[in-house]
């Protein structure tokens, strides 16, 4: 039975992907920060009739201590994971630091999936890592000396940079871990909870254009395709949109930048580079 761990699974494309995977009989681990929403998403997944177990995990992935706790729980349950879907993410209109001292967008959108993947790498041999990026990465600008956006902060620019990190992480993971398949994707602009966690202007704008946006189900299609399809089994290190490999931005293809981001992320997360050791 295929085992999938899916973060950000309680709304938007994450929830849509969870429902579809459960319908296909996948054993699913649903991760979210709110216990009630996790329970509701797990209930809906089980109601599809796929018949496979659905496990509930509650974790605030802005905190690396929570990422480590989550990884420990997952390792205690599964000897092997077929797919890790790093889908959790958000955009924040103002700069905030977590209790661990990390800028919140960077912590949730990049450092958490980086650390979770590393902590589970030995369980993912022969499996797949799918990370939700965005075409917003083309508006990002990564400065390895200012990963915390201390010098300047713009909500959408920092979000775009975090999505650029997702692409660079994917490409470097594919290079360092040939024992698995690592890919990322752009879901399109989806009608979901994205952009509504804070920021009145962004929230209002998304509400106005909401009818023109993709449904979560359409946005989730590439995630499910990369996670489960035979057609995607042979690709790695790629950026996908609408189930098709696309070229990301020039900066997203910078191998030296990808290596630098990996090394700095490992140092910040407190892990040895190239290993899954804590």
Beta strands 181-186 and 54-58, pairing class: unpaired
For residue 253, tell me if it sits in a domain.
Answer: yes
The pLDDT confidence band at residue 276, using thresholds 50, 70 and 90, is very low
Question: Rounded CA gap, 25 and 46, in Å?
Answer: 10
For residue 88, tell me if it sits in a domain.
Answer: yes
Indicate the SS3 state at residue 242: coil
The vertex-165 CA angle with 148 and 57, nearest 5°, equals: 90
The pLDDT confidence band at residue 190, using thresholds 50, 70 and 90, is confident
Number of domains in the chain: 1
For residue 277, tell me if it sits in a domain.
Answer: no
Question: Rounded CA gap, 41 and 10, in Å?
Answer: 5
Q: Is the pTM of this model over 0.75?
A: yes
Element (H, E) at 184: strand 181-186
Indicate the SS3 state at residue 222: helix
For residue 195, tell me if it sits in a domain.
Answer: no
| Phi, then psi, of 91 in degrees rounded to 5 | -120, 135
CATH classification of the domain holding 126:
3.40.50.720
pLDDT, position 200? 45
Picking from 228, 210, 259, the residue whose alpha carbon sits closest to that of residue 83 is: 228
Q: What is the pLDDT of residues 130-163, one digit of tens each?
A: 999 999 999 999 999 999 999 999 999 999 999 9
Which whole number is the average pLDDT over 99-121? 98
From residue 270, alpha-carbon distances to 109, 115, 265, 275 in Å are: 17, 9, 8, 11
The vertex-274 CA angle with 66 and 68, nearest 5°, equals: 10
Q: Is pLDDT above 50 for 272?
A: yes
For residue 109, tell me if it sits in a domain.
Answer: yes
For residue 39, tell me if it sits in a domain.
Answer: yes
Asked about 159 being catalytic, the answer comes back as: yes
pLDDT, position 273? 65
pLDDT, position 209? 41
DSSP lists the bridge partners of residue 86 as 131
For residue 201, tell me if it sits in a domain.
Answer: no
For residue 86, tell me if it sits in a domain.
Answer: yes
Structural domain span for residue 120: 3-187+219-269
From residue 216, alpha-carbon distances to 11, 150, 180 in Å are: 9, 33, 27
> Residue 236 carries which DSSP code?
-
Q: What is the pLDDT of residues 38-73, one digit of tens each?
A: 999 999 999 999 999 999 999 999 999 999 999 999
Q: Is pLDDT above 80 for 211?
A: no
Indicate the SS3 state at residue 185: strand
- Active-site residue, selected from the candidate residues 159, 194, 225, 262: 159
CA distance from start to end of the chain: 28
Picking from 109, 227, 114, 119, the residue whose alpha carbon sits closest to that of residue 171 is: 114
Q: Is pLDDT above 80 for 221?
A: yes
Q: How many CB atoms lie within 10 A of CB 78?
A: 16
């Amino acid at each position: 039975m295929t085992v999938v761990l899916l973060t950000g699974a309680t709304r938007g494309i994450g929830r849509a992907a969870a429902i579809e995977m459960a319908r296909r009989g996948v054993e699913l681990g649903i991760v979210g920060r709110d216990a009630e929403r996790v329970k509701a998403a797990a209930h809906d997944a089980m109601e599809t009739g796929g018949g496979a177990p659905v496990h509930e995990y509650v974790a605030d992935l802005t905190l690396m201590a929570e990422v480590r706790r989550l990884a420990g729980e997952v390792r205690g349950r599964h000897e092997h994971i077929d797919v890790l879907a790093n889908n959790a993410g958000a955009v924040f209109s103002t700069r905030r630091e977590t209790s661990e001292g990390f800028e919140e967008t960077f912590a949730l959108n990049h450092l958490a999936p980086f650390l979770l993947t590393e902590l589970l790498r030995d369980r993912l041999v022969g499996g797949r890592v799918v990370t939700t990026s965005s075409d917003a990465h083309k508006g990002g600008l990564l400065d390895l000396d200012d990963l915390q956006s201390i010098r300047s902060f713009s909500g959408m620019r920092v979000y775009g940079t975090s999505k650029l990190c997702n692409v660079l992480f994917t490409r470097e993971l594919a290079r360092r871990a040939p024992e698995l398949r690592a890919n990322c994707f752009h879901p399109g602009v989806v009608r979901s909870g994205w952009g509504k966690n804070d920021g009145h202007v962004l929230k209002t704008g998304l509400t106005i254009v909401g009818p023109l946006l993709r449904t979560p189900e359409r946005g989730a299609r590439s995630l499910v395709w990369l996670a489960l399809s035979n057609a995607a089994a042979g690709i790695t290190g790629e950026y996908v949109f609408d189930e098709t490999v696309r070229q990301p931005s020039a900066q997203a293809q910078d191998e030296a930048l990808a290596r630098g981001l990996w090394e700095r992320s490992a140092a910040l997360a407190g892990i040895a580079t190239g290993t899954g050791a804590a």
